[in-house]
Amino acid sequence: MRASIVAVGDDDIVGHVQLSRSWIDAREALVEVLVLSPLSVLPTQQNRGIGTRLIKAALAEAERHGVPAVFLEGDSGYYGTRGFEAATPKHFRRPSNRIPEPAFQVALLPAYETWMVGQLVYPEAFWATDTVGLRDPTLRQIQCETG
C-alpha cells in the first residue's frame, strides 16, 4: 500500500503527506508497514492545523488498510503530540545509523502484534535519492547535542 494525501484550500494544494511501503524484518516474517515522508505545508498556510490533519488522515488510511505501524524521521516535539512515539524503546531498529535515535518514531495501530519488531527496511527509492537520515556535519551536531 502507498498513498498520497493532499490538503486543498481555495482551489490550490496547500499541503501533502506521502505514505511509502516499507517492512519490518521481524523474526517470524517480513511485516509490511508504512513510512510517513514527506509531510509538507505551504509556509503561508502553516500553523493552521493542516499538517496535523494530514497526519491524522494518513494514520486513518493506514489503519483502514490494516497496516500495523507507521514510521517516520522527525521532531519528537511535533510528532509526539500527533500519535507518534520513540521507536527504539518499542524494540524497532533504525534502517540507518544516520537517523538520530530521537527522530526515529512510530505510531502503532490496532493491527500491531508484539512479535512485529525488528529492523525497519526502507524502500529502494529512499536509498536511491539519498533521503535516509542526515549527512555530516548536521548529524554530528545533533549527536553532540543529544549526548
pLDDT value, residue 135: 65
pLDDT digits (tens, 9 = 90+) for 39-93: 999 999 999 999 999 999 999 999 999 999 999 999 999 999 999 999 999 999 9
Burial pattern 23-51, b for ≥16 Cβ within 10 A else e, equals bbebeeeebebbbbbebbbeeebeeeebb
Name the residue among 118, 43, 51 with its Cα closest to residue 83: 51
Predicted confidence (pLDDT) at residue 142 exceeds the cutoff of 70: no
Identify the pLDDT of residue 89: 98
Percent of the chain with pLDDT over 90: 77
Question: Which numeric CATH code is attached to 3-146?
Answer: 3.40.630.30
Give the angle 19-25-29 at the CA atoms, nearest 5°: 105
Predicted local distance difference test score (pLDDT) of residue 13: 95
**H or E, element range at 93:** strand 92-93
Q: Coil, helix or strand for 120?
A: strand
Q: Which three cell numbers stand for residue 136?
A: 555530516
Mean pLDDT of 111-135: 89
Beta bridge mates, 31: 24
Mean pLDDT of 19-48: 96
pTM of the model: 0.89
Element (H, E) at 139: helix 138-146
∠ CA 76-82-86 to the nearest 5 degrees? 40
* More confident site: 51 or 130: 51
Q: Does the pLDDT at position 144 exceed 90?
A: no
> Closest Cα to residue 24, out of 125, 108, 81?
108
Question: Comparing C-alpha atoms, which of 95, 45, 105, 49 is closest to residue 74?
Answer: 105
At 59 the pLDDT is 98
What length does the chain have? Answer: 147
Tell me what the mean pLDDT of segment 106-119 comes to. Answer: 98
Give the model's pLDDT for residue 93.
Answer: 98
